[in-house]
Structure formats: structure tokens, C-alpha cells
Homo-oligomer: A and B are copies of this chain.
Amino acid sequence: MTPVTVDHANFLTSRVGDGGVDPARLSGELSDRFGEVHRDVEQRREEGEMGFFRLPYEVDTRRQVQEVADSFGQWFEAVVVVGIGGSSLGARAVAEALRGSLWNERSSEAREHFPRLYFLENADPDTTSELLAHLDLRRTLFNVISKSGSTAETMAQFLVVEEALRGVMEEDQLRGHLLFTTDPDAGVLRALANDRGIPALAVPPQVGGRFSVLSPVGLLPAAVVGTDLEELLGGAAEMEELCRSEKLPENPAGLLATLLHTAHTEDGRSIHVFMPYGDRLRALGLWFQQLWGESLGKARDREGRMVNTGPTPLAALGAVDQHSLLQLLMEGPQDKAVTFLRVGRREAPVPIPRSHPGQPALAYLGGHTLEALLDTELRATGEALRRAGRPSLVLEIESLDARALGALFMLLQIATVYAGGLYGVDPLDQPGVELGKELTYGLLGREGYPEPDLSGEAEGTVDG
């Protein structure tokens, strides 16, 4: 049983007309092109890059993370992830998918004594002061996550948190409320961990932030709320194996990357809408948005030529955004391709009672379930788009559990590095964010960074 299936029928010319992809090409030239990309990715893997491929098999890491989570879990009422971007989006996606949005409001018994889980991401003074005032700091663990140990927001939050802890405990107790996830050797967090005996987990060197959800970055927060890590990683491993195939129809990540890349480069569909049906998958969309956008949006290709390319990922939520974005998807420019995500089966389908038989606007709903309504809306939306000549595909998982989630993470990560190959860019770097960081350092007076002139006159603009 495949952990995630890809139904691409509504992406084909036979169904969607000129806006689609000719199925003959998928077993012909597009398959050949994918074969080249697949070989290139395999080679970079073998050279030690793309460390995320190996994460499902790091059994020692999984055991270590589980031990840390087990030993902390019984002591703390709350765990706060202090991290931003790739250091928080993956853990958010796991916690929301598996624990839902009411987790933190539940009693300790209802949580089976697993801690509450919060995120301090932004350098937002309101969020920070409210959260620190809200928590019982003596019963809170702060998991500070930054691979480099230089992320401005996270380092600032760390300083604020450390000071807040000092307000309620002795200096030698601090280290019991801190857990770092950072580079195994370098950076200020590692140095502090070594100096002060603060426990620290390692982000493997060949794993970048947005590909780190299956490393301790995502695993520790997942484990503290009771996620079965073996299942999560098992699902990822299954998907990794499936994607060893260099044959296009059999490699789901290859199919996804090829369809979206083709729709963009040949048909102008530069906006890739990711639309899971189900509230618990909203955060997964934000995780995907970073992964796809930051990996593929590049000024230069791998030969150094200026290309300014990359699709724009748009995280949507079904059926909610049928009441928000569907009008644009149906009638706006032909510049979008939609990826739906369908959950086959829910824990409780929730029957809709037949309580107002005389009211036509209510009567037709009675006897169905909310699950069936949601699923019907997904089908109806795909069909409506098809009739408007707009391609879509459906990723489907059997049920929303740790195994399926692990498989989804791996599918989308692998699709991203394949898409990098198809676009001809390096999916692992992010050179475009450096300038903003340097300007921030300069404005804050960091040593070695000159104060920039923001008058807009002294310096011209550059083509970026």
C-alpha cells in the first residue's frame, strides 16, 4: 500500500484541454528529462549533500530524541519552541496535524500528561511578553532551535527568555529549562551548551533548515506531544524507497515535480496552490510554502546565469478557501496549478441530522456526514476547475496519522529537489536573504557591519 497516492487525471489534456499536460509526454520526453534529474540528485546524495534523504534511517538519533522527550515530558507542563522558519514550521505542521488546535487548552489528563506546546517565532514584543506572563516558567522547557546559532529573532528571544527564567529561579537551575538544537560543533548555542552543560541536540551538517523536519529540529517537539517517531520516520522511509525509481509514473515525487514544473515553464502557471482539505493540515501548507518558495526562487541557475525564476507557492485550505480564493482560481488569469490534499478517512465522520425536512436549504444535508460533505466539496472543486480548463492534482493519504505525515514530508522534500533540477537551480541555498540580514546587523550596530544609507539616493538599484 502506497502511503501517498498522486491522482493526476485532472492535470492531463484529455480531461482539462490545452491547460493540461499531454499524457504521452509523461512516458516520453518528460520521463527522459526526469531520468536525468533523478540521476543528478542521486549523485549529489552520494556525494554527501541532501542529508534529509538519510534522516528516516537515523535510528540512534530517534532513540536519543525519544529519551530526551521522555525524560523531560514528565517534568514540564509546557514546552516552548524558540525558532523561526525551518526551525519551527515543521514542528508546527506535526503538532497541528496530530494534536489539533485545542491541544494547549486541554487539561493535563486530557493530554495524557504530555506537555503543552508553544512557539516563539517572531521578534514580536506582544507575543513574547504575553506568552512569558502566561506560562509557569518553573514548569516550562525552552527548546531553542537555530542551526547557525546566529538567527537574530531566535537569539533575541533566547536572551529575553533566559532573563525571564533568572527572575524565578537560581542561576544553576537555568540549564534545566533549556534545550538547544543546533550545529554539532559551531555557533554560539553549541559553545554555551558546552560551557554550561546545557543539553543540546545536533542538526546534521548536511541538512538545511527547510529540510530538517525529520531531524531533531522537528522530532523533539513532535515527540514531546507524543508523536510516534518510529511511525513518522517509517512513513518517510517508505516514500524514500518509492522515490528511488527513476521511472516517472512510479515515482510520486517525480510526477508532482514534473507536472508543476511543466505547467509553469510551458504554460505560465507560475502560482502553485497547495490546498489540503482539513483544518489540521493548514500548517503543513505553510511548511510547504517555505520549502517550495525558498528552494526554487533563485536569481541564478547552477551555471551562474541570471534567470530570476521560481514558482510562487500559495497555501490555501479547503473547503474554507472556496469562500475566499476559489473565485480567483476559477476565473482569474490562467497562471495557477492546484494541488489538493485529500484525507481518505477521519476518526469520526460526524453525521448531519435530518432535523429540518421541510427546509430545502437544510434537508439535502441530512443523512450525510461532515466528512462526506468536505470530500464532496473537494471533488466538486476539482471538477469545476477542470471544466474551466484549469489543471489540478490530488495527493491522497489514507488517514491523517504519523505514518502518512512522514510520507508527505518526504514526498514534498524529494519533489522539491527534483524541481530544483528541472528549474536548473540549487534547491539547497538561499543567497537572497543575506542582504536583509546584513542591513539589519548594520542598523543595529553589530561590529563589522557598516550602518547602511537608507535614503535611497546614495546607491543605485541592482538587478537581483
Contact = CB atoms under 8 A, between A and B. Distances in A.
Given A153-B373, A373-B444, A435-B384, A9 B456 contact: yes
Interface stretch (A49-57, A84-92, A405-413): A84-92
Contacts of A365: 152, 155-156, 159, 444
Contact of A324 (B290, B351, B440, B443): B290
A115 interface: no
B17 A460 contact: yes
Contacts of A59: none
Contacts of A329: 297, 432
A457 B349 CA distance: 31
Contacts of A353: 159-160, 162-163
A418 B10 CA distance: 36
Contacts of A157: 370
B370 A128 contact: yes
Given A156-B370, A361-B149, A462-B388, A14 B456 contact: yes
Given A373-B152, A389-B462, A332 B308 contact: yes
A64 to B, nearest CB: 26
Contacts of A389: 461-464
A270 interface: yes
A333 B446 CA distance: 32
Interface stretch (A23-31, A40-48, A199-207, A374-382): A374-382
Given A389-B462, A462-B388, A352 B322 contact: no
Interface in A354-394: 355-356, 359-366, 368-374, 376-377, 379-381, 383-384, 386-390
A39 to B, nearest CB: 27
B294 A325 contact: yes
B443 A380 contact: yes
A454 B127 contact: no
A19 to B, nearest CB: 8
Interface in A118-135: 121-131, 134
A105 interface: yes
A464 to B, nearest CB: 3
A362 B189 CA distance: 10
A326 interface: yes
A309 interface: yes
Nearest to A106: B134
A363 B160 CA distance: 13
Nearest to A440: B380
Contacts of A387: 435, 459, 461-462, 464
A320 B462 contact: no
A346 interface: yes
A322 B289 contact: no
Given A320-B122, A370-B124, A444-B364, A326 B432 contact: yes
B328 A377 contact: no
A378 to B, nearest CB: 10
Interface in A265-288: 270-271, 278-280, 286
Contact of A100 (B130, B320, B364, B380): B130
A432 B324 contact: no
B128 A350 contact: yes
A284 to B, nearest CB: 14
A347 interface: yes
Given A320-B121, A433-B326, A447-B364, A163 B355 contact: yes
A61 interface: no
A298 interface: yes
24 contacts: A9-B456, A100-B127, A122-B279, A124-B279, A124-B370, A125-B371, A126-B348, A159-B362, A188-B359, A188-B362, A294-B325, A308-B333, A310-B332, A312-B312, A327-B431, A329-B432, A364-B445, A365-B444, A376-B444, A379-B439, A388-B435, A388-B464, A389-B461, A389-B462
Closest 3 CB pairs of A and B: A85-B323, A388-B464, A297-B328
Given A297-B330, A376-B440, 18 more contacts: A102-B134, A104-B105, A106-B134, A124-B278, A125-B350, A163-B353, A270-B335, A297-B332, A299-B330, A312-B336, A322-B433, A327-B433, A331-B432, A363-B447, A364-B444, A379-B443, A380-B439, A383-B452
